[in-house]
Amino acid sequence: MEERLLFIIAAPRSGSTLLARMLGAHSRVHAPAELHLLTPLAHLGFHERVDTAPYDPIITQRGQREMVAALPDGEADYLAALRACTDSIYAKLLEPSGCDVLLEKTPAYALVLDFVAKLYPGARYIVLTRNPLAVWSSVVQSFFDGDHAEAERISPGLERFVPAIARFLRERPVPIHPLRYEDLVSEPETAARGLCEFAGLSFEPGMVDYGAAPERSAQVAKGLGDPITVAKETRPTTRSIARWAEDMTGDPAKVEQARRILGRLTDPDLDTWGYDRNDLESDLAGIPSTGARRGGRGASAYTLERKLLASLRRQVHRRKALAGLVRKCREACDVLLR
């Protein structure tokens, strides 16, 4: 295909539209509307960073929708092309491992579940839920260095993930195996056997004692995710179940914040996750308003990185208002210039 591609590289308002129309008039040249196909792919994170992407999301959406509409089978062709790309990458990742199943764990996928389900409708999906108050507490500790006020101001957190995952569980557009975190750590072998049955695998005890094979555990510990618990524990433990309440002990402001966040979640969504609102509110009411708080995590490269990220998030948040104004001006100018 590269031998048949013809690119026009130009700055905006340089006459590129005129040139494209001229070239498109040739009987051997097809010049569709602006596709905005390669810029998003270039900024997925490996080559360029998403936060520095120089393309406008509104124009990009319009261009891609026009492109998809021009394909013979529309969205089906588009998904097939994307699947060809991701299939190739997944296969290359799996090949050197000697395994025949690839596990994909990316929390952000929970916010694009409709797309993922369309792209891979035949895959198997394990949906893990956890006490939403524990989830929030972990977000505050891990990503905001314990600053719960800043976390609520910046991160929509539960208000995005809980409804999205709950809808996915209710609609079940793909093969789904729901699992609660608390059940996983309390009855790990039972949970592991259920997972194996769902995935068409034979149960292996090493799944529970994941630290028994250091070389395999080291592979799992690499990359994004929480590297602390994986490295410290060798099998599932229930110690983390009540940690969220310990984090809030002696801090009424955190408890009140948790009540506010819980109040923004609906009963149907909480029920679908596997948690009862009355039970959660009762747990909050039982947290002591005085007493020693849990000590923070020991210093490590991970915790230092999180402190830096928390600081950067504060700076970014302060610039959001100005960035929003600039974005609106850009959109208005683009309409006028085009």
Range 199-222 average pLDDT: 72
Calpha distance 90→123 (Å, rounded): 13
Spacing of C-alpha 222 from chain mean position: 18
Range 306-319 average pLDDT: 61
54-68, 276-290, 312-326: which has the highest mean pLDDT? 276-290
Calpha distance 215→17 (Å, rounded): 56
At 194 the three-state DSSP class reads helix
Range 98-103 average pLDDT: 90
Range 299-320 average pLDDT: 59
Which tokens belong to 262?
């819980």
Spacing of C-alpha 68 from chain mean position: 25
| Cα–Cα nearest to 338, from 133, 74, 68, 58 | 58
Calpha distance 215→223 (Å, rounded): 15
Calpha distance 90→273 (Å, rounded): 30
Residue in the structure block whose two tokens are 């090949």: 95
| Cα–Cα nearest to 161, from 179, 135, 126, 137 | 135
Q: What is the phi/psi pair of residue 34, to 5°?
A: -55, 125
Calpha distance 190→309 (Å, rounded): 38
Q: How sure is the predictor about 47, in pLDDT bands with cuts at 50, 70 and 90? A: confident
Range 226-252 average pLDDT: 80
Residue in the structure block whose two tokens are 């618990």: 229
pTM of the predicted model as reported, rounded to 2 decimal places: 0.79
| Cα–Cα nearest to 158, from 259, 263, 276, 265 | 265
53-62, 239-248, 253-262: which has the highest mean pLDDT? 253-262
**pLDDT (0 to 100) of residue 120:** 95
Task: Render pLDDT for 263-296 as a digit per residue (tens, 0 to 9).
Answer: 999 999 999 999 999 999 999 999 998 875 555 5
Q: How sure is the predictor about 217, in pLDDT bands with cuts at 50, 70 and 90? A: very low
Angle between helices 320-337 and 301-318 (to 10 degrees): 60
CA-derived radius of gyration, the chain? 24
Q: CB 15: neighbour CB atoms within 10 A?
A: 11
- Write b or e for each residue in 283-312: b if 16 or more Cβ atoms lie within 10 A of its Cβ, otherwise e: bbeebeeeeeeeeeeeeeeebeebeeebee
CA distances from 243 to 14, 186, 227, 246 (A): 59, 15, 17, 5
**pLDDT (0 to 100) of residue 318:** 58
**pLDDT (0 to 100) of residue 235:** 80
**pLDDT (0 to 100) of residue 221:** 46
| Cα–Cα nearest to 247, from 133, 132, 162, 129 | 133
